[in-house]
Chain A
Amino acid sequence: MTLALQLIIIALGIFLLIVIMNAAVHRKISESHALLWIVPCFLIIIGGIFPQVTYFLSDIFHTEYPPAVVFALAIIISYLILFQCFKSLSVLAMKNKELASQTALLAERVRVLEKTVQKLQEPSGHEENKTT
């Protein structure tokens, strides 16, 4: 790996790290979700500083083309993050339906209560009319 490429990878890792941490500071991503993205950033930076890690891993998995290990790792991590996103999305959709349903029920209860209050107020209104 050339020094220029190494520097680009490190710079990219640091840039992504800053973007994610900035988003967390501005409350655009929760801390727990940000951590999911921060870990891969560190992996990118480590991979840039120590490119030998790629060759070491390719030796372990007996791959002829070392970058294939990096691609495989990137796909696995992306897949895991995507799965986490879909999981959160499903739970949020479920919770949203539950909230909508409970809001509708509460609105109905308020409507019934308003009617009852109106009915209770009516007789006193009649009496007032009679006296006038």
Chain B
Amino acid sequence: MKHDLLIIMPAYNEEASIGKFLDSLKEFGIMEYADIIVINDASADHTTEILKLLNINFVNHPYNLGYGAALQTGYKYAVTGGYRYIIQMDSDGQHDACNIPKIYDCLRQKDAAGKRPDLVIGSRFLKESQSFPIPFAKKVAIRFFRRVIKIASHQDITDPTSGLQGLNRPVFEYYAHFGNFDNNYPDANMLVQMSLLGYQIKEIPAVMHKRTAGKSMHFGIIEPLLYMCIMLFSTYNVFVRSKWKLLQQPINDKGGNNFDEKK
């Protein structure tokens, strides 16, 4: 560990975009204050070779475990590495590197009550956000889950499907623990879980670009519909677990935590 911030990038068959994106991180000087780890989810293309060539730290999964499991590997890496903050972002270049300093600052900044956010989401739907046109079906799904989160946790999150997130140590330590993170479909369900557990969630405007290469996780008609059904069911389960006190309670103090001061 060189820095207190770790950038986690799950990658699956991203040979066409990952090199360019890592270059943009260098251009923005991100490597001066953050470590980077790419979780290569058993890519079948030349992603591994590119990472070796660019001398970037990476973890190889022995076989494809999926996006959620790749993120959880990153959380475990961050826990053992002793990091204080992590920022997770896609390696396909959709999330602009300029978002990193904004999220990092937000994670460290105290509000009027002297609390720091536990989880910062880069949103495409805030006033100063810059994003590409989103397909109608996806917009409907996002609005639907926004409503679901509002009902379940009374929190208004404009972009619940955003993969661009910053987490502080208590959050990723909690996620890294077995059973605390949905390593199949981490999405709105996890936001509801963290909100119900009392973690502070904050959204900031983000700059995002349209995917230029590779294949999205949600394509076709049946798969996204099935995904919506599973996500809805999963969110319901999280809600019931919370009501039945089946969620593992956080070990660290949450809600703006003073974990920094303790160190």
Is residue B62 contacting chain A, with contact meaning CB distance below 8 A?
A: yes
- Inter-chain CA distance A25–B237, complex, in Å, is 5
> CB distance A95 to B233 under 8 Å?
no
Instruction: Please tell me the size bucket of the interface on A.
Output: 10 to 19
Give the size range of B's interface with the partner. Answer: 10 to 19
CA distance A76 to B252 in the complex (A): 50
Q: For the complex, is B240 an interface residue (Cβ under 8 Å from A)?
A: yes
B230 near A35 (CB under 8 angstroms)? Answer: yes
Instruction: List residues of chain A with CB within 8 A of the CB of B136.
Output: none
- CB < 8 Å: which of B233, B240, B241, B244 contacts A34? B233
- Which of B62, B237, B246 sits near A102, CB closer than 8 Å? B62
Q: Does A59 contact B (CB under 8 A)?
A: no
Taking each of A24, A30, A31, A98, which has the highest tally of chain B beta carbons within 10 Å of its own beta carbon?
Answer: A31
Determine the distance from Cα of A27 to Cα of B193 in the docked complex, in whole angstroms: 14
A24-B63 Cα distance, complex, nearest whole Å: 26
Which B36-94 residues sit within 8 Å CB-CB of chain A?
62-63
Contact B62 A31 (CB under 8 A): no
**Hey, what's the 0/1 contact readout for B231-244 against A, CB within 8 Å counting as 1?**
00110010011001
The SS class assigned to the A binding surface is helix
Residues of A within 8 A of B213 (CB): none
Mark out the residues of chain A between 99 and 116 whose CB falls within 8 Å of any chain B CB in the assembled complex.
Answer: 99, 102
Bound Cα distance A59, B240 (Å): 43
In the assembled complex, the Cα of A31 lies from the Cα of B237 at a distance in Å of 9
A32 within 8 A of B: yes
B237, A32: Cβ atoms closer than 8 Å: no
Contact A99 B62 (CB under 8 A): yes
Q: How far is the CA of A34 from the CA of B237 in the complex (A)?
A: 11
Complex: how many Å from CA A50 to CA B27?
65
Docked complex Cα distance between A65 and B16 (Å): 60
Given A99-B62, A102-B62, A27–B179 Cβ distance below 8 Å? yes
Contact of A26 with B246 in the complex, beta carbons under 8 Å? yes
Q: Quick one: given A31-B185, A31-B234, A35-B233, are A25 and B241 in contact (CB under 8 Å)?
A: yes
Bound-complex Cα distance A31 to B235 (A): 10
Which B residues have a C-beta under 8 Å from some C-beta of A?
62-63, 179, 184-185, 226, 229-230, 233-234, 237, 240-241, 244, 246
**With contacts A25-B241, A27-B179 known, what are 6 further pairs, Cβ within 8 A?**
A24-B233, A25-B237, A25-B244, A25-B246, A35-B230, A95-B62
Could you show 6 A-B contacts with beta carbons less than 8 Å apart?
A: A25-B241, A27-B179, A31-B233, A32-B184, A32-B230, A102-B62
Q: Which 10 A-B pairs have the closest CB atoms?
A: A31-B234, A31-B230, A25-B240, A31-B233, A102-B62, A25-B237, A98-B62, A32-B230, A24-B237, A95-B63
